[in-house]
Structure 1
Amino acid sequence: MQDIVRRLDTCRVCGRDDWLEVTSFGSVPLANGFLDPADLPAEEPAYPVDVIVCRGCRLMAVRHVIRPDVLFRHYVYVTSESDQMTGHMRRIVGWCTRRAALAPGELVVELGSNIGLQLGLFQEQGQRVVGVDPAENLAAIANARGVRTLPEFFGGDQGRRIHAEQGEAKLVLGRQCFAHIDDVHNVLDGATAVLAPDGLVAIEVPYLLDLLEENQFDTIYHEHLSYYSVTTLGHLFQRHGLRIVDVERAAVHGGSIVVFAAREGSDHPTRPSVGQLLSLERQRGLDTDAAYLEFAERAHQVITEIGDLVRDLAARGLTVAGYGAPSKGTTLLQFCGLGPAEVRFCSDTTSLKHGRLLPGTRIPCCSPEQARAQEPDYYLLLAWNYAEEIIGKERDFLSRGGRFIIPIPQPRVVTAEPVPAVA
């Protein structure tokens, strides 16, 4: 275990070692460590999920860091092509194009580019693109789609090489991958190495404020090393000669921010959104210990409530299945101590997960088509960030008497009437 995991002693953003110990969710297997039923280990390796906050820059992090090649060399998370996510990716293109004044032929570099869906949208409007993603299986899919992708971790060397081969980038983009990165300074070294003098760095991350206020404890797992506020990102960018010039809030992944940074001394003006969110974070107490400790108390209370609800349904002879098998879902099931006796199966659209068992719980994962043949009484909506879209799509299930349990921010049951709009 020692060669796979290390303890985070100093803050990866500011270097301080003054930590608030927030809580521990125990030791669990990796959230994306799906198992082949034909080759089951007697015991799965489990690693602690301990949450800490830096009292210097207010970075929230998990204490134990798993070696990145263990997590990401063969990755089963594929960028969603849901209506919600496709619409969001198109908004990202618009936001970036306007702010960076992107013209056809200019270069866009994306780190953590997955199968290339986002870069493909930039290609459609004439930009040159290069993706960098360490997951070799996903990079191969992207290249097959015509999106040039390097199967590597992004850092200083990669940024300098892309600059030498392709020229300077008007936009360096990182969507929902920055939380996965341990050596964030090396990544920003790469970004500044390839960035044009008037270019922008755009980083999308789940928003720490939303995580705390909406009780999103299931988004805390080993792949998510860091949980960012605008305050913390400001500290980070400043160390690399960058300043935050604008922020957009986005209703994806439970609430995210897209933070735009420019070189110090560039002509990009600082928009009011930056000061507004910095002020909001202070108002909500993100610069104090209390906000994090109160979150921990609520999280453990809701973990108990979810587990009790599902176990009670199973004890009454009602069937429960999981809708979706995202990382947050495998995490929630493990934190709640639920297994195949309580949750019969999980249905997911990602074919890489079909026929596999969920890590830790060993609940089987199947396709939506297979799930329809064994419809449960209740679906535990593990992909709760798509709740509105899913519930709208599953009206027939509800009309037949089926029910959804939406677990976050606290468990509630949705029936056929009315079908609510759920964030």
Structure 2
Amino acid sequence: MTSCRLCGSTSTASVVDLGATPPCERFLTEEQLDERELTYPLHLRVCTSCWLAQLPALITPEETFTEYAYFSSYSTSWVEHARSFVRDATTDLRLGPDSFVVEVASNDGYLLRHVVSQGIRCLGIEPSANVGDAARAAGVPTHTAFLDPRTGAAVRAEHGPADLVVANNVYAHVPDIVGFTKGLRALVADDGWVSIEVQHLLTLVENVQYDTIYHEHFQYYTVESARRALGSGGLSVVDVELLPTHGGSIRLWARPAEVAGEPSARTADILAREKAEGLHELSGYSQFAARVALVRRSLLSLLIAAAERGETVVGYGAPGKGNTLLNHCGIRPDLLAYTVDRNPYKHGRYTPGTRIPILAPEQIEIDRPDYVLVLPWNLRAELTAQLSYVGEWGGKLIFPIPHPEIVEVKS
């Protein structure tokens, strides 16, 4: 990486090097198993000038998101999270029939469908044609495009300024942070609001959530680095909420700088906590790589011991984070016979790099494995309940992060 994509500094430091892996959402068909599979370095560094943690932009958003394998609506808890957000935002911002809401990276309409149900005018901006089609089929108006200043200005000219712009789990996915942020500013009304949810680098470091490092995540934010990034496009953070989603996220509330005013007290509190944990200097990152290595060795030891006892282990889920974990640990079908996923798009395909078959969830009840390795560990409560039937035959769950843990479940 030659320079920081936010401030341009050439002074960066290594946080963790995870080797080289294929892009995490490039699931393989059976016909592709004998074809060449490209891999790219996965090396997280932090800029020592603005403290933005980042990966080199080795693949483009167009390569990842023109057709996308992730459909948000397959997570029950995530849909409920979106419903609650829309309910609260509608009340707090006094949104009504005359309001306009835009969501960037709106996926399959998981959030905006709740806006539609309230009779509020809205529009999704979604680059992936296949998931955008699913949104339109669900009654959510969706424009297929990547956000940049030109797209933002065109949408504003056609539909008017947005009272609320939502950008959940996309601010990490854009290599051109400044251009994307200017696109947000172009969309939002001069007295409007922008709400961004993104994983918090603080919890990533604290809980060794290294599997959330993958190529489509170009950067990882503290509140401090997010403030700098939003400022590059004329937006100012006015409030921050800590969320449990994705293992620990921040919801940034921002407004055009001209009307933002002073940030909230809890914004200052979170900034102080980040500073106390050393994330505004190098000290906070110094032991991360060693802690990642310990997770890898511990998980492999657990899986190898199970195999030597003749016990069976299968996976649950095929998320992007799971593919980072599987590739970094070198887990193959001899240790994980298969994984399952609720998304039919992935059925009959194979995980990138590790070539583990992806089947329908019903396969677990048929085979009755001894252990189920839960790859979307961030949905622990939801999936522990969903997989409680595993306890009927004495099966157990394995959660790999922040450290490998075997969990007994009751049916």
TM-score of the aligned structures, taking structure 2 as reference length: 0.96
Could you give the per-residue CA deviations for residues 286-327 of structure 1, whole angstroms, max 9, x where no partner exists?
012122121121011111111121122112211000111111
Q: Which residue pairs with 1:61 in the alignment?
A: 54
Amino acid at match of 2:60: R
CA shift, 1:379, in A, is 0.6
Q: Which residue pairs with 2:359 in the alignment?
A: 366
Do structure 1's residue 235 and structure 2's residue 228 form an aligned pair? yes
Tell me which of 405, 409, 412 is aligned to 2:402.
Answer: 409
Do structure 1's residue 396 and structure 2's residue 389 form an aligned pair? yes
Secondary structure at the residue paired with 2:13? strand
> In the alignment, is the contact (CA less than 8 A) between 2:254 and 2:260 conserved in 1?
no
How many residue pairs end up in the alignment?
A: 411
Do structure 1's residue 175 and structure 2's residue 181 form an aligned pair? no
Q: Which residue pairs with 1:93 in the alignment?
A: 86
CA shift, 1:416, in A, is 3.5
> In the alignment, is the contact (CA less than 8 A) between 2:344 and 2:360 conserved in 1?
yes
Do structure 1's residue 214 and structure 2's residue 214 form an aligned pair? no
Secondary structure at the residue paired with 2:192? strand
> In the alignment, is the contact (CA less than 8 A) between 2:152 and 2:183 conserved in 1?
yes
Secondary structure at the residue paired with 1:65? coil
Q: Which residue pairs with 2:334 in the alignment?
A: 341
Secondary structure at the residue paired with 1:117? coil
> In the alignment, is the contact (CA less than 8 A) between 2:71 and 2:343 conserved in 1?
yes
Do structure 1's residue 200 and structure 2's residue 180 form an aligned pair? no
> In the alignment, is the contact (CA less than 8 A) between 1:105 and 1:126 conserved in 2?
no
Amino acid at match of 2:406: V
How far apart, CA to CA, are the structure 2 residues paired with 1:201 and 1:297?
37
How far apart, CA to CA, are the structure 1 residues paired with 2:335 and 2:328?
14
Secondary structure at the residue paired with 2:189? strand
Do structure 1's residue 29 and structure 2's residue 10 form an aligned pair? no
Q: Which residue pairs with 2:123 in the alignment?
A: 130
Could you give the per-residue CA deviations for residues 91-113 of structure 1, whole angstroms, max 9, x where no partner exists?
22134334533222311111111
How far apart, CA to CA, are the structure 2 residues paired with 1:63 and 1:35?
24
CA shift, 1:33, in A, is 0.9
How far apart, CA to CA, are the structure 1 residues paired with 2:253 and 2:348?
41
How far apart, CA to CA, are the structure 2 residues paired with 1:297 and 1:167?
51
CA shift, 1:415, in A, is 1.4
How far apart, CA to CA, are the structure 1 residues paired with 2:35 and 2:96?
56
Do structure 1's residue 116 and structure 2's residue 109 form an aligned pair? yes
Residues 307-318 of structure 1 correspond to what in structure 2 (within 5 A)? 307-318=300-311
Q: Which residue pairs with 2:251 in the alignment?
A: 258
> In the alignment, is the contact (CA less than 8 A) between 1:159 and 1:194 conserved in 2?
yes
Residues 64-75 of structure 1 correspond to what in structure 2 (within 5 A)? 64-75=57-68
Tell me which of 144, 147, 168 is aligned to 1:154.
Answer: 147
Distance 1:165 1:48, change over 3 A: same
CA shift, 1:148, in A, is 1.3
Distance 1:193 1:311, change over 3 A: same
Secondary structure at the residue paired with 1:74? coil
How far apart, CA to CA, are the structure 1 residues paired with 2:128 and 2:394?
41
How far apart, CA to CA, are the structure 2 residues paired with 1:186 and 1:267?
20
How far apart, CA to CA, are the structure 1 residues paired with 2:137 and 2:26?
26
Q: Percent identity?
A: 37
Amino acid at match of 1:317: G
Judge which range, 260-269 or 297-306, deviates more.
260-269
Secondary structure at the residue paired with 2:259? coil
Tell me which of 43, 47, 55 is aligned to 1:50.
Answer: 43
Amino acid at match of 2:210: F
Tell me which of 227, 236, 239 is aligned to 1:246.
Answer: 239
Q: Which residue pairs with 1:13 in the alignment?
A: 6
CA shift, 1:64, in A, is 4.4
> In the alignment, is the contact (CA less than 8 A) between 2:73 and 2:110 conserved in 1?
no
Amino acid at match of 1:404: L
TM-score of the aligned structures, taking structure 1 as reference length: 0.94
CA shift, 1:132, in A, is 1.0
How far apart, CA to CA, are the structure 2 residues paired with 1:56 and 1:307?
37
How far apart, CA to CA, are the structure 2 residues paired with 1:64 and 1:203?
22
CA shift, 1:81, in A, is 4.2
How far apart, CA to CA, are the structure 2 residues paired with 1:226 and 1:91?
27
Q: Which runs of 5+ in 1 are unaligned?
A: 1-7
How far apart, CA to CA, are the structure 1 residues paired with 2:260 and 2:313?
56
Residues 280-299 of structure 1 correspond to what in structure 2 (within 5 A)? 280-299=273-292
How far apart, CA to CA, are the structure 1 residues paired with 2:281 and 2:58?
25
Judge which range, 116-125 or 84-93, deviates more.
84-93
Could you give the per-residue CA deviations for residues 342-388 of structure 1, whole angstroms, max 9, x where no partner exists?
10000110111000011111110001113321221101111111111
Do structure 1's residue 321 and structure 2's residue 333 form an aligned pair? no
Judge which range, 79-88 or 216-225, deviates more.
79-88
> In the alignment, is the contact (CA less than 8 A) between 2:151 and 2:183 conserved in 1?
yes
Q: Which residue pairs with 1:224 in the alignment?
A: 217
How far apart, CA to CA, are the structure 1 residues paired with 2:108 and 2:159?
21
How far apart, CA to CA, are the structure 2 residues paired with 1:346 and 1:118?
28
> In the alignment, is the contact (CA less than 8 A) between 1:237 and 1:243 conserved in 2?
yes
> In the alignment, is the contact (CA less than 8 A) between 2:243 and 2:251 conserved in 1?
yes
Could you give the per-residue CA deviations for residues 234-278 of structure 1, whole angstroms, max 9, x where no partner exists?
111222222111111111111111101011231666321211111
Secondary structure at the residue paired with 1:300? helix
How far apart, CA to CA, are the structure 2 residues paired with 1:216 and 1:388?
17
> In the alignment, is the contact (CA less than 8 A) between 1:50 and 1:64 conserved in 2?
no
